[in-house]
């Protein structure tokens, strides 16, 4: 994932550019940035909130070697927040093509639906809908959504034929979504037994596979208890360095066998300073695998909106602390870039080269619109960008509906004084509490609406 504008483009024969910022391409909607003016510069494991952030030099984070801006244009090599022309054109065309489908996948403007499924673990479930766990805190239909979360508010303006179903689950980290082999299957068991999901007031018991056309995804690589360096199967994940360049790291990765990076050769740029797999590289590979698998189980999916993580600097558990939460922004940017690069060049990434972790993400707009089954993956798009350096307002993040800049305070996360019903007994300063969910829902509402040309079906 190293110096995207220079290394990846040079590797495929494009002209290299200086790593400073230049005038961005024109056209498209301006989706605000992951942090490009506040950069992570230090982290003290085991000390929640013990971070230092410095000003980026020419838009570059000099710890990770990454550039600011949501996009690296695959043609010009420029980094900016403005979607490159082809990305913008493809997204608008796909969004405009969505039509209500019946359960067989046929267009039905009378009784059909446009279904969007939310995927991820409990953090995004809190933000989208609320948490309905098994056991004594199980809620009824009337209580199944937090009224201040995203979906109850979105349904007030959501088109009658548009359904958003939260297939999110506590503990189901990114690896769970690379296939349907875990027990229970992450896809086939949604909505989950006993969970009281409703859409427009109607109970939902089955995800209509051929009606799903959009996925909304936020997740993480969860760490084992007691290990703030986190990592699968007790093997630590490393943070990024200025030499990180994610390649395909291990064959045979499935939802039931966690990969430690053992498949990566010594000296691989997918390994960190301590010789362990870089967390952002693992996340990139898992999401690439998820994107390809989604097309096999929900064949009519056209678009996947990727939500990067919110701030993890107050975490008291190793689930998704800093700097890993921050670095998922770079993994997300890399995935979007690699797909754009493949679309621009027609070159499928090789496993031991640039974009190797992302893998084959090729598509054609005509095939996705026709549900022809030839595309390897749906189009990957940025969802809201909402990582902010704690209490420092993020002027580059997706704002709230009122235009306020995003901040994340310790009081936005589940702590010992939060009521059980809103935090499900969690006390980890990782999951958002009512204050944090309200803030996240407001950002989501400002992104997913009919005024956004990428979501006109809303």
Distance CA 380, CA 411 (A): 33
Annotated domain spans of the chain: 4-447
212-235 pLDDT, tens digit each: 999 999 999 876 433 444 444 455
pTM of the model: 0.85
User: Is the CB of residue 307 less than 8 Å from the CB of residue 336?
Assistant: no
The whole-number pLDDT of residue 60 equals 54
pLDDT of residue 400: 87
DSSP one-letter string for 181-215: -SSS-TTTTPSPTT---EETTEE--S--GGGEEEE
Summarised one tens digit per residue, pLDDT across range 4-34 is: 322 222 222 222 222 222 222 222 333 333 3
Three-class SS state of 297:
helix
Residue 127's contacts (CB-CB under 8 Å, 6 or more residues apart) are 149, 150, 218, 432, 437, 440, 441, 444
Adjacent-strand bridge partners of 413: 432
410-456 tens-digit pLDDT: 999 998 888 766 787 788 889 999 999 999 999 999 999 989 999 99
Tell me the C-alpha to C-alpha distance, in Å, between residue 305 and each of 122, 221, 402: 18, 18, 22
Positions in the chain whose pLDDT score sits under 50? 1-58, 62, 132-143, 193-196, 224-233
Contact at 8 Å (CB) between 237 and 326? no
pLDDT on residue 105: 95
DSSP 3-state of 304: strand
- The DSSP call for residue 430 is S
pLDDT of residue 138: 40
């Amino acid at each position: 994932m190293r110096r995207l504008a220079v290394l990846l483009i040079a590797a495929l024969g494009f002209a290299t550019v200086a790593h400073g910022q230049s005038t961005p391409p024109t056209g498209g909607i301006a989706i605000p940035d992951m942090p490009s003016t506040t950069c992570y510069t230090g982290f003290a494991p085991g000390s929640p909130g013990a971070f230092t952030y410095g000003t980026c030099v020419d838009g570059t984070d000099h710890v990770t070697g990454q550039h600011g801006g949501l996009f690296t244009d695959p043609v010009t090599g420029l980094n900016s927040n403005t979607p490159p022309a082809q990305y913008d054109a493809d997204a608008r065309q796909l969004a405009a093509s969505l039509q209500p489908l019946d359960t067989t996948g046929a267009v039905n403007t009378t009784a059909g639906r446009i279904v969007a499924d939310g995927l991820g673990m409990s953090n995004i479930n809190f933000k989208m809908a609320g948490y309905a766990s098994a056991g004594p805190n199980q809620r009824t239909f009337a209580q199944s959504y937090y009224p201040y979360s995203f979906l109850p508010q979105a349904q007030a303006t959501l088109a009658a034929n548009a359904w958003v179903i939260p297939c999110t689950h506590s503990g189901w980290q990114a690896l769970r979504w690379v296939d349907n082999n875990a027990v229970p299957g992450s896809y086939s068991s949604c909505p989950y037994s006993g969970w009281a999901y409703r859409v427009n007031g109607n109970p939902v018991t089955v995800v209509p596979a051929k009606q799903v056309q959009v996925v909304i995804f936020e997740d993480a690589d969860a760490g084992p208890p007691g290990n703030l360096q986190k990592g699968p199967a007790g093997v630590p994940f490393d943070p990024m360095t200025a030499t990180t360049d994610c390649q395909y790291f291990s064959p045979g990765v499935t939802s039931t066998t966690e990969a430690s990076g053992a498949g990566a050769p010594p000296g691989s740029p997918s390994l960190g300073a301590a010789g362990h797999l870089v967390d952002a590289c693992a996340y990139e590979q898992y999401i690439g695998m998820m994107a390809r698998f989604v097309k096999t189980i929900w064949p009519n999916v056209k678009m996947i909106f990727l939500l990067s993580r919110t701030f993890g600097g107050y975490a008291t558990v190793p689930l998704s602390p800093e700097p890993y939460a921050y670095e998922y922004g770079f993994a997300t940017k890399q995935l979007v870039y690699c797909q754009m690069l493949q679309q621009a060049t027609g070159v499928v990434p090789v496993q031991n080269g640039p974009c190797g972790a992302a893998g084959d993400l090729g598509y054609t707009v005509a095939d996705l619109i026709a549900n022809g089954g030839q595309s390897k993956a749906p189009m990957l798009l940025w969802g809201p960008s909402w990582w902010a350096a704690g209490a420092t307002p993020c002027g580059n993040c997706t704002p709230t509906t009122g235009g306020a800049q995003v901040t994340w305070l310790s009081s936005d996360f589940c702590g010992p004084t939060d009521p059980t019903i809103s935090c499900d007994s969690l006390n980890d300063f990782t999951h958002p509490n009512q204050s944090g969910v309200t803030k996240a829902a407001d950002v989501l509402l400002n992104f997913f609406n009919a005024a956004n040309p990428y979501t006109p079906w809303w």
